[in-house]
Structure 1
Amino acid sequence: MRLRGFTVAAIAVTMALTACSAPEDESEERAREDSDRAAAGEAPDAITIGWNQPYYSYNDDTSDGNATANSIINYMLRGNLFYYDENQALVRDESLGTFEKTSDDPLTVEYTVADDAAWSDGTPIDATDLLLQFVGTSGNLNTIDASDDVGNLGGEVYFNSSSPGLPLVTELPELSNDNKTLTLVYSEPFADWEVALDFGVPAHVTAMKALGIDDPQAAKDALVDAVQSNDKAALSSLAEFWNTGYDFTALPDDELLHLSSGAYELTDYVEGEYLTLTANPDYTGELPASINEVTVTYSDDPLAQVQQLQNGELDLFGPQATTDVLEALEAVDQAEVDTGVEGTYEHVDLVMDNGGPFDPATYGGDAETARQVRQAFLTAYPRQDIVDTLIKPINPDAEVRNSFLVTPGSPSYEAVSEASGMEEAYGDGDSEAAAQILAEAGVEGPIDVRFLIPADNQRRSDQFDIVQPKLADAGFNLIADRRGTWGEDLGSGTYDAVSFGWQSTSTAVTESQATFYTGGLNNLIGYSNPEVDDLFDELAVTTDEGEQEDIQGQIDAILTEDAIGSTVFQFPSVEAYNKNVIGNVTSAPLNPTIFYGYWNWTGPETE
C-alpha cells in the first residue's frame, strides 16, 4: 500500500482483474511513428505500460484509496514537494513550493507555495490546499475514531486517514495573509518532519462539491472558515467528499475530479482495461513529461504481458518476478530486463479478532492460548523453504527477512533483526516443535485455518503448496480460500491467515506505525498492544538515530513475542522494456517503482 511520506506504504497486492490492451488500430500507426522517431534518435511520442491492478481513486491518502495502483498514476498527475530517487534518497521538488524548519524548540515547519503554482483548471494552488491535507491526514478535527460508512457520516467528522506525526500539531496551522504560506508548530519533536505533509487533492474542488459552492475562491474561503471555526456540519460534509468523492473506475464526466498539478493529465480511462495520461501543456515545473502520451493497460497475467511486449503492444512493465516470467522474457529479442530488489516485502498475517483459530475469543478469552496457537503456526511456517524454492532462482542472494520494521540492507537492519528474535523464535519451519507448542497449550488438532489466496497469483499459490504440508504435520488444516476479490477482502475478517506484500514508500522510521498501532490505517488483523503503541509514540519524537534503532528493536521483539505474523522475504524485482522504443529507464525500489523517472525517459539507447 502507498502513502506519500509519513503514511505507510501502500499495499503491494496483485489483484485478479480482467484487462485488455489499448486499441490495436492505433498501436500499429503508433509503432510506425515510433520507429521513425527511434531512427532519428528521438523519444517516442507515446508508450504503453503494463500494470496488474486498475486505478480507482484520485485520493490515495484515504484508507480505501491507499494503494500502489492509485499512487503510481497520481505520481504523474499531481506535483509533490519531494520524492525518493532510485537510491532511496529524499529529493525536494520545488516546482510547487518549498518547506523549511524554522525552529527546533518548538519544532516549527514553514511551507511556502510557489507564486505560479496552479491546478489545470486555472485555480491557483495555495496554503488552503495544504490546510486540507493537514486536516484530512492528521485526524485532529475528527469527532469519531472510525466510521464503517465513510460516505455517510451522519453529521460526525471523520477523515479516513492517519498520520504518525501530524497529530503532534495540536494547534491549527497558521495561514499567511497572502495565503501562500502554512506554518506547522509541533507540540513535540518529530523525527520524520520532512515527509509529514505534502500536496493532496484540490481544496477548492473538495469544498465546491461538499458545500455546494460554484466559485473556487469562495469555496476555499468557506473551507478555511469551517476549519478555523470548527464548524462540525461543514467539516462532516468536507470529510464525506474527501473520503469517497474522488473514487472512480472510469473517466468521470466532471474533469474537476482529476485535475492535474503535475506533468500529465488524465485524458482517457476505460474501466478495467486502460487509462491514458497526456502531457500537461501548462506544466512549468522541474519534472516535465519526456513522452507525450502514456497509456497504462491492465492485466493480472504476467506471461500474457510478456507476449504483449514481444508483440509490440507493451513497451514497459514490472511483473511479479517468477522463474517462468524471466525465462519467457529471455526469449524476447527486444526486451531489456533488469532485476534487483524491491521495497516490498512478503509477510504472513494471522487475524486475531474474527472468532477464528488465532482469536483469544475462541479460547474463552484466553489470550495466552491464542498466542501459543499463533506461535505454533509460525514455528511450522517454512520461510526458508519458500525463499529457497521461489526466490533464490531469481535472486541467488535472497535471504529470509527477520524484521517487521527495517528493510534488509539498511544500516540498522542487522541490529534490529537480531533484537527482534524472529529468526530464533520461528526458525526454518519446524513442524515437530510446532506440534509440541500446541500440546503444551492444550489445543488438539487438526485446526482449520482459512488461508486467503488471490485466485490467479501463481507465486502465492506456489507458496501455499509449500506451506500446507508443513502446517499439516504440525496440526493445522490449511484451507485454500481463493478469491478474485482478495485485495478488496483484506482486513474483512473473513479469513484466518493471508500472505501478501507491504510496499515501502519512504525511509521514515515511523512508516510502519499504521500497520501495528492500535486502530492503524493498515492494521488488518485486529492487533493491539499498549506497549507497542507507546513505543511508536516515543519513536515518533526521537531524533537520535541510535535511540531510534533501539526503540525499533524493542517493537520488533514484542511483535515477534506476540506472534502476530512473520516477515518472509524481500521481493525480487523485474523490470522489462522494449529497448527498440524506449531508453534511460531506471526503476526505484520504493514506490512508484517502474514509473519513477518518467522525465528522464528517452528514445532507444545507442551503443
Structure 2
Amino acid sequence: MTRFGKTSKLVAAALGGALVLSACGGGNGDDDDNTSDESQSGGGGTVILAYEQEVYSWNPTAADANAAANSIPTYWVTTGFWYFGENGVVTANDEFGSYEKVSDDPLIVEYTINENAVWSDGTPIDCDDVLLHWSQQGGYLGWGASGYAGMEDVKLPDCEPGDKEFTYEYRKPFADWESVASGQGNNAMMPAHVVAEQGGLTPEELVEIIKGVDWEDPDAREAGAEEANEQLADAIEFFTTGWLIEGGLPDAAHIPSSGPFTFGEYQPGESLTLVPNENYWGEAPNADEVIIRYIEQNEQAQALQNGEVDIIAPQPSPDLKAQLEAMDGVEVSVFDQYIYEHVTLNFDSGPFAESPELREAFLLCLPRETIVENLIRPVDEDAQVLNSTVMQAFEPGYDELISGSLPSEYSEQDIDAARQILEDNDAVGTTIELRTLDNPRRNQQGQLIADACTEAGFEVDFEAHGDFFEGDGAMYNNRFHAAMFAWQGSSLVSGWNSTYRTPSECSASDKGNNSGCYSNEDMDRMLDEVLRITDEGERNEMLSDISAHLWENGVVAPLFSHPGMAAWSEDVENIVPNPAQSDIVWNMPEWQRSS
C-alpha cells in the first residue's frame, strides 16, 4: 500500500510508487497561556530526510491527494487522537486529547480534546473541526475522501461551537473503532475555520449547515445533504483544491498546524523544511528543523554517503543493500512492512472490464515468482510470492487464509493455459496498457510482465510515468488497463476495506482507494460484515472468503510484500523503521543529531 491508507485508508506510497491504503468557532487568539514553555525548539540540530515523491497537497485527506508524498510531510503537522506508533500499532496521542469506550451496545466512545490545543494561528481546536472531519471522513457531504473506515456508521456528534468534548455513537458495531476519530496522515483533522472563511462562511455557519441535516431520517437525509452541499459549494471547492501545492505553498494563513511541526521554507523541486510549531501546547520536537530533500531513489545512497542527507528509506535492491552496508558511519535496517505490490485491473473501461476470460489469462501469465526471485529475494532471502491482498505473509493466520482462498490454477504461472484462453476467445494480440510509476525496480517488473504476457499472446504496452500518482496522472484518471503499484497500510482491516467497495463514481474525486473501480454486491456485503466481526477466528474466515472472491473475479493480482530498507547516518539518533503507513517518520519529533 503505497498510497496512504486511511485510518487505515491505504496510502499510495512513494516507495517508488505506493499509495496511502484515512473549528468550533473560537476566534483567532494570541493568548500566551495557550503556549507551553516546552513548545520551543529542542536544540537537536538539523536532520535531513531524502524522499523521492514531492509534496503536492497540504491536505492528504482529499480523495485525489491520498499519497505518501503528502502524508509523510504532514504526519506531524496535522495531528489527532492517535497515530501508528512502534511496530505499526494504533497508539493514543495523549498530547492531543483522550478517549474512552463507555459502551459496547450501542458502541459509544467519548472524546476530550486537550484544553490547550490550538491551531498554530491561535484558533482553538474544537467542535467545528470535529464536525468537518465527521462530515468528510464519513462521506456525509461532498468534501471527498479516499475511503471510509467506520465514520459512515457514526451518528452526528452532538457538540456546539467551542466545545472540547464530544461523543461518537455508532449505528453498528465496528471492530477498529479506535482508529476512526481523527488521526494523522490521510485521517487528519483539517482546520474548519480556514475552510469556512474560504467558503464565505463563519465557523458557526459551517457548523449550522452540517447540523441542519436530519442524518438519521433516510427520507430527509438525501435532500438535506444536497442542500447542504449547495450551501458549502465554495468551501468544498477550497477543501479539494485550495491546499494544492503548485509552484509554492498555499497562503501561510491557510495552513495552520495542529502538531509539533509546521511547514517552513519550500523550494519547488528541491526541498521542504519542517520547523517547530511555536504555538504547540505539547512537548517540543528535538530537532531544530527537519528538511525533506527530494532526491531520485537511484541518487539517495550517494547523497547519504556524501553527507547531503541523513536518512533514506528507498526501495531495496541487492546492489543498493550491498552499497549501503559497505559505507562507514551508516546504519542499515531491512524489515517487514505493511506494503504490498500488486497489479490492479480496470473494471471501468478497456479489455478487462467485461471479460473475465481475459482477466484470467492475464493473471495466469504474470511472472510473480520470477519477479520475487530476481528482484526481491536478493534483498530478503526469505521473500515469497504474496497470495492475498487482505493479509500480509508475516501476519498470524496467513497460511490458513491462503489454503482456503488461493485457486490452484493461480499458484504458479501458466503461460500455456493463458494462451489457450486467448485462442479459445479469439483474443490473441489483445493490447494491454500496463502503467506504473517510473523507477528502476518497477521498470524491471514491468518488462518481466510484458515479456511473459506477450509470450502468452497479449500485446503488452508498458509505460512508466513520473506523474503516475498525480491528480491528473494515469492512476487516478483510469488511463490504464492494468496498474502496478503498492499500497501502504497497517494491520487494520478498516484500512483497506474501501479498496474493493463499489465507488459512487469512477472518477479521480470519487473512486477513492478503489483504483480499478470494481463493483460487486457480494463483495460489498462481505466488506461490511468483516468490519463488524470482533472474533479473530470468524474474521479470518471472512477474510479468506474475500481473498477467494478477488482471485476468482480477477480483480487484483498480489505480487509480493515489500521488504523495507532504511539507512541513516550514525550521528543522528532515534531513527526507528516502522511497518505501517506512518513509515520512517512515525517518531519524527524524537529525531535529533548526536550531541
TM-score by length of 1: 0.85
Q: Name the residue aligned to 2:22.
A: none
2:264 and 2:122 map into 1 onto residues whose CA distance is 17
Contact in 1 for aligned 2:499/2:514 (Cα 8 Å) = yes
Q: Give the one of 442, 467, 486 matched to 1:485.
A: 467
2:7 matched residue in structure 1: 6
Does 2:521 correspond to 1:536?
no
How many angstroms does 1:160 deviate by?
4.1
| Secondary structure, aligned partner of 2:87 | coil
- Which residue identity lines up with residue 577 of structure 1 in the other structure? W
In the superposition, relative to structure 1, how do residues 477 and 242 fare at CA in structure 2: closer, same or farther (>3 Å)?
A: same
Counterpart contact for 2:340–2:389, Cα < 8 Å: no
Per the alignment, residue 24 of structure 2 pairs with none
Whole-angstrom CA distance in 2 between matches of 1:290 and 1:481: 43
1:412 aligns with 2:397: yes
Which residue is equivalent to 1:574?
565
Residue aligning to 2:518: 527
8 Å contact kept, 1:435–1:475: yes
Question: How far off is 1:285 after superposition?
Answer: 2.0
Asked if structure 1 preserves the Cα contact closer than 8 Å seen for 2:4 and 2:488, the reply is: no
Paired with 1:130 and 1:260, the residues of 2 have a C-alpha distance of 16
Alignment of 1:440-455 (within 5 A): 440=424, 442-455=425-438
- 1:206 Cα deviation (Å)? 0.9
One of 530, 536, 547 as aligned partner of 2:538? 547
Equivalent-residue separation in structure 1 for 2:113 and 2:192 (angstroms) = 14
Q: Distance in 2 between matches of 1:89 and 1:592?
A: 10
Tell me the CA shift for residue 533 of structure 1.
0.3
- Deviation of 1:466 after TM superposition, in Å, equals 2.0
| CA 1:203–1:444: 2 relative to 1, 3 Å | closer
Asked if the contact 1:5/1:195 (under 8 Å) is kept, the reply is: no
Gaps of 5+ in 1: 17-41, 143-156, 213-218, 361-369
Match of 1:358 in 2: 352
What does the per-residue CA deviation read over 1:141-179, in whole Å, with 9 as the maximum and x for residues that have no partner?
Answer: x3xxxxxxxxxxxxxx4534431311112x421116861
- Pairing 1:289–2:271 present: no
Q: What aligned pairs does 1:348-497 form with structure 2 within 5 A after superposition? A: 348-354=343-349, 356-360=350-354, 370-422=355-407, 424-440=408-424, 442-455=425-438, 457-487=439-469, 488-497=473-482
| Alignment correspondent of 1:95 | 95
Note the 1:109-508 alignment, pairs <5 A. 109-140=109-140, 142=141, 157-169=142-154, 171-175=155-159, 179-198=163-182, 199-212=188-201, 219-230=202-213, 232=228, 233-252=230-249, 254-286=251-283, 288-300=284-296, 302-354=297-349, 356-360=350-354, 370-422=355-407, 424-440=408-424, 442-455=425-438, 457-487=439-469, 488-504=473-489, 506-508=490-492
Q: AA paired with 1:281?
A: E
AA aligned opposite 2:189 = G
Q: Deviations over 1:514-533 (max 9, x none)?
A: 21111151111121111000
Cross-structure match for 1:24: none
Contact 1:404 1:567 in 2 (8 A): yes
Match of 1:535, SS state, is helix
Structure 2 stretches lacking a partner, 5+ long: 18-41, 183-187, 214-226, 504-510
How far has the Cα of 1:430 moved from its partner?
1.4
The 2-side partners of 1:122 and 1:281 are apart by 10
Superposed CA deviations along residues 74-96 of structure 1, whole A, max 9, x for unmatched, are 11212221112232222101112
Distance between the aligned counterparts of 2:249 and 2:433, measured in 1? 38
Aligned partners of 2:47 and 2:531: how far apart in 1? 42
1:246 Cα deviation after fit: 1.7
Letter in 2 for 1:584: N
Contact 1:108–1:183, Cα closer than 8 Å, also in 2? yes
CA contact (8 A) 1:54 1:272 kept: yes
The aligned amino acid for 2:259 is G
Does the C-alpha gap of structure 1 residues 541 and 236 become closer, same or farther in structure 2, counting only changes over 3 Å? farther
**Residue equivalent to 1:69:** 69
CA positional deviation for 1:105: 1.6
Report the Cα distance in structure 1 between the residues aligned to 2:118 and 2:43, rounded to whole angstroms. 28
Report deviation, 1:138: 0.7
Q: SS at the partner of 1:175?
A: coil
Letter in 1 for 2:288: N
Question: What amino acid is aligned across from residue 564 of structure 1 in structure 2?
Answer: V
How far the C-alpha of 1:464 sits from its partner, in A, is 2.1
Aligned-partner SS, 1:526:
coil
Instruction: Provide the C-alpha distance between the structure 2 equivalents of 1:590 and 1:61, rounded to a whole number of angstroms.
Output: 17
C-alpha distance in structure 2 between counterparts of 1:176 and 1:570, whole Å: 45
State whether residues 499 and 512 of structure 2, in contact with CA within 8 Å, keep that contact through their aligned partners in structure 1. yes
Contact 2:9 2:146 in 1 (8 A): no
Shift of 1:322: 1.3
Once residues 594 and 508 of structure 1 are traced to their aligned partners in structure 2, the CA distance between those partners, rounded to angstroms, is 19
The residue aligned with 1:49 is 49
How far residue 432 of structure 1 moved from its aligned partner, in angstroms, is 1.0
Map Cα deviations across residues 82-114 of structure 1 (whole Å, 9 max, x no partner). Answer: 112232222101112112212112111222111
Q: Structure 1 residues 346 and 7 mapped into 2: Cα distance closer, same or farther (>3 Å)?
A: same
Cα pair distance change 1:537/1:453, threshold 3 Å: closer
In 2, are the aligned partners of 1:120 and 1:260 still within 8 Å (CA)?
yes
The amino acid that maps onto 2:105 is: D
Residues paired across the two proteins, number: 541
Matches within 5 A, 1:23-34: none
Q: Which secondary structure state, in structure 2, belongs to the residue aligned with residue 123 of structure 1?
A: coil
Give distance in 1, aligned partners of 2:78 and 2:374: 41
Cα distance in 2 for residues equivalent to 1:317 and 1:13: 12
Instruction: Report if the CA contact (8 A) 1:97-1:113 is conserved.
Output: yes
**Cα 1:239–1:75 shift into 2, 3 Å:** same
Moved more, 102-111 or 176-185: 176-185
Cα deviation digits, residues 36-66 of structure 1 (max 9, x gap) = xxxxxx9741021100111111211111111
Q: Quick one: structure 1 residues 253 and 240, their matched pair in 2 at CA, closer, same or farther if it must change by over 3 Å? A: closer
- Opposite residue 171 of structure 2, the aligned amino acid is S
Deviation at 1:125, TM superposition (A): 0.8
CA contact (8 A) 1:43 1:601 kept: no
Q: Percent identical across equivalent pairs?
A: 33
Match of 1:174, SS?
coil
Looking at structure 2, the residues matched to 376 and 82 of structure 1 have their Cα atoms a distance apart, in angstroms, of 43
Match of 1:420, SS? coil
Letter in 1 for 2:85: D
Distance across 2 between alignment mates of 1:13 and 1:315: 18
Q: How far apart in 2 are the matches of 1:574 and 1:265?
A: 27
Alpha-carbon distance in 1 for matches of 2:550, 2:310: 42
Q: Is the 8 A contact 1:190 1:540 kept in 2?
A: yes
Distance 1:346 1:495 in 2: 17
Seen in structure 2, the aligned counterparts of structure 1 residues 528 and 4 have a Cα distance that, compared at 3 Å, is closer
RMSD: 2.1
Shift of 1:250: 4.6
Match of 2:583 in 1: 593
Q: Alpha-carbon deviation of 1:458?
A: 0.9
